[in-house]
Each structure stands twice: as structure tokens, then as C-alpha cells.
Structure 1
Amino acid sequence: MSIIQVNNLEKTFGSERALAGITFNVERGQIFGLLGPSGSGKTTTIKVMTGELKPSDGDVNVNNFNYKQFRKNDYVSSLGILSDKSSLYERLTVKDNLELFRKLYNAPKGSVERVLKDVGLESEIDKPVSKLSKGMKQRILLCKAVIHRPAILFLDEPTSALDPTTTEKIHDMLEELRDEGTTILLTTHNMDEATRLCDNVAFLYQGVIQDSGAPAELRHRYKRNEVHITYTDGTVKTVDRTEENRSLLDNVLFNEEAVDVRTDFPTLGEVFKKVTGKELV
């Protein structure tokens, strides 16, 4: 049963059409990625599903709530949200910030210490937020979003501009949440992130879903039947993987001058470019 159902969703702002009738479903307990460049409609989609915007047309259902019910307390309390508007109280300590939200969502005592341990910041519990680095603040914002163990977590570019170590910690935490049953919808420019985390993705470009599927499935769908051979002098030769080239390819495996041999298996970013004709930046 899909926990998120989006059918022919349209959103216009005056004469500008931000979403042109998109449709997708997300199964319970999955990580689903909306992938696209800035201005493609990713953030608008999340704002509709979190009740910040109303659809211009179409239908949206999340966790058995219709979009007309998205402002109800029961719906809001089932969500966790991390967006560019998420913020912390700079003068308060990490503990005081998170305790406010623990009490607001009626999460159990001990939840603050648990989420801080998940992101490796338990030693910073008594530090004022103003003294934290950008990466630390991002991890605290994630703690704030998940302290009540939401049924659904919406993440808008959760690791943008973070260092690799911080990103790795956040990835670990998201995978743990998914394994515990939380459904996660995220937007990202990071194709390595999407490949690692997402069970399914949708390519959103100019307000239209251009293609969708599991990352590995999409990469296989758009691969070419070619072999790329790199030689010691730096030259690269591309050979079609056909029966007539079988002898040549067999010999390459024992050719000491061939230092790298690989099939054409595109990255998710390369697939996006093939589908849309645009880089994912």
C-alpha cells in the first residue's frame, strides 16, 4: 500500500507553471528521491505535501490524509521536516532546543540523548547552538526533525554543502530510520547520495517527471552495449560488445597494455543527462 500518492499534481504561480501534472507513489518504509536541478519543482512538491501550499489541480494523499486535511494536528504530528527554512534557537543550548521539540511532539524522555548519539553529537549537548559549526547545526536540525520518530520524513537537500564525514553520519542515520519503518522523501543534487540511499527515484525537470524507477534499474535501462578500454599510453578505445568483436575483447583481458576495461554503466547523473539533456546542477 502506498503511503504517498500523488496524482496529476499541478501547481501554478500566476502565469508560471511550477508542476505540470506529476504522478508518483511511495511505498511505506522506502526512501524516495526527487531529483532535479534548481527550479524543477522539487521544493514546491514538498511544500504541497507538508501543507504549506495548496495544489492548483490534481490530488495528493499522504498517510491516509488528503491534501485538504494537511493542516490537521494529527497529520502535522506524523511528519518530520528538514528544509531551508528549518532553524534553531541560537542562544539556547543543543539540549534546550531539542527538549522544546521533544515536549511539543510528546516524545519519550531520553529522546534527546538518543538522537544526538545517532549523529555523533552527544558531547555537544550543553553547548549553545551559536557555537556550533554549519555541519553540526545541520545534524541538530535533523535530530529536531526525527526526535518524535515520524511516520514520514521530508528532507529538502539534507546534506547540501556538508563535509563527507558529516554526510556519512547523516546517511547512516537515514538508513537506520528507513529500516525502522520511517518513509523518507528527499530532494538532492547529489547522485551518489541518491544511488546509495534511494529505493526509487523520479527525475523532475521543468515541472514534469521525465522518468522514474530504482537507481540500478534506471542505470541498466540507459546503458549502451559498449566496452571502454584504457591503455598505458592514455588512449581510450570504445568497442561495441558484439559477437564480431568477441576475439578482440577476449584478447584485451590478457593484454598488459590495457590498464582499465569497463562496460558502459552510466551513473545516475549521466542517466539524468541522457533523459533531460541537462546536467544535474
Structure 2
Amino acid sequence: MPARDIDHVVVMTRDLESARAGWEQLGFTTTPRAVHPFGTANSLIQLQGNFVELLEIDDESRIAPPAADAFSFAAHNRAFLAAHGEGGSMLVLTSADRDADIAGWTARGLRTYAPFDFERKARLPDGSETRVAFSLGFTGDRSLDGLGFFVCQQHTPEAFWKPDYQRHRNGARRIAAVTLASAEPEAARPFLEGFSGGVAGPAGDDGCYAVALAQDRLDVVPGGPPAIPAIEIAVDDVEAAAALIPGAWRDGPAIVLPSEIANGVSIRLVPAQPQARR
């Protein structure tokens, strides 16, 4: 199974408009609010090939209850918000064939759920509307209980990706890495390799290790309850980005934005590699 890459990270919020305003103050462009047919609403930070999804509960009456064989995206995120507050609630990887991915997980003994397909309206930069369509496949593991994991196969990429939404004042280019915390990082290793198709490296003395994806990576660290504490985003010019953001601090060549100003996730801005700038 070939290694996948990061498609997006879901950041659960209590107030979507407030979250949009906050991320725009950090130099990101956000898409207009969009509504899902299953009770949630979102706004995206589109980057070069992946994105951050800011999410809120929109209509409780449309949320499907969890079932043994069906993963409820909205119910998961509602429960996450109640248990943990705002923060990274789900990691999503790319998919060229959702059904093949689920079959591959089943063959490797991973927990799987019924496939899920949906469409929604998307507002274009000129104010017009189009429809975007997706096929999702969900999985999960006890070692990372409380977080959601799925792949997303896009059927309308030409309608989804828009250059006007992919340009950011802070020069953001791509999510390069996502940090996952677990009380049992070694127990999470087989799941993360099976979920991603990537290869996990050896653990250091501190118990941390990385899972190499096609071009991105997952950083796994020891922690308390499973969490997505940080997102690493490559930017064109770290110094220029830092000048836009009061409250950021330096960590070597990177700039770190604390979770208090980014809806529960820390953002680490790193220099983009030359190929990522093209």
C-alpha cells in the first residue's frame, strides 16, 4: 500500500466566525462558511495540496448517532468538544481509492466502518456557488482513542481548490507535519503505519518517533490523553510571517504560535523547502 499524505486536519471550534477571524489575524486566508448535510459547518485554510478545516456544530438535529458499523463525523466532533474543548480532533489523509483503502485496512486488521459519501455547496471567490463531492473511509485505534482518522477521496478537485484561497499573507504553503500525542506511542505504531502506508522510524530516548509519508510526516510523542497538539506549516519566509503575529516565539529556525491563539492547536511555522515554493 503506497504511503498517503496529509489531506487535512480538523480543528474543532465553539464559534466558527471567531475562529476564522483569529486565523486571518495570523495571516491565513479562510474560505466562506459552508454547511454540511449532517449537522456541522466549516471554513478552510487551503494550502498547496492540503488544508486546515475549522469546524463547528451547526444543527444538532441533523447529527446521526454513533453506530457500531457507521462512524458519525458530527457526533465525534460534538463529543470531542464536550470532552476536550477546542483543538485538533481528526487527522485526514489523501486517498485515490477510498474503497481500496478500506479493504487494505481490513486486511491489516484495522478497525473499519461503513464507507460514507457526501456533497455540499462551496462558495467560489467570485461569490458564485458550486458543489463539491467526497468519499470518506474511517478507521481508528484504542491507542489513539478520542481522535478521528479517515481518508478523503475528492471527486471534484477542480471545484474545490482555488488559487485565491491558497494565497496567504504569512506565505503559508503546506502542512508539512502533524503531531500526535499518545500515552502509548509504541502501541500506536502498527495502526499509524497501517492507516498511512508510511514507515515509522525508531523511537528516540524520549519515546518520540516519526512516520514518513509520501512527502509529509507524522510526529508521535508521549503524552496524556490522545491529542493533536501541533501542526507544522511550511511558509515562504519565516521572518516575514513572524512579523505579522504578536505572541509568536522562536524555536531554532521555526516560529511557534501558541495554542491559545489558534483554537487549541500550536502552529509551528518552518521554512518551506525549495520544491514546496514552486
Q: TM-score, normalised by structure 2?
A: 0.31
- Tell which structure's C-alpha radius of gyration is larger: 1
More helix by share: 1
More strand by share: 2
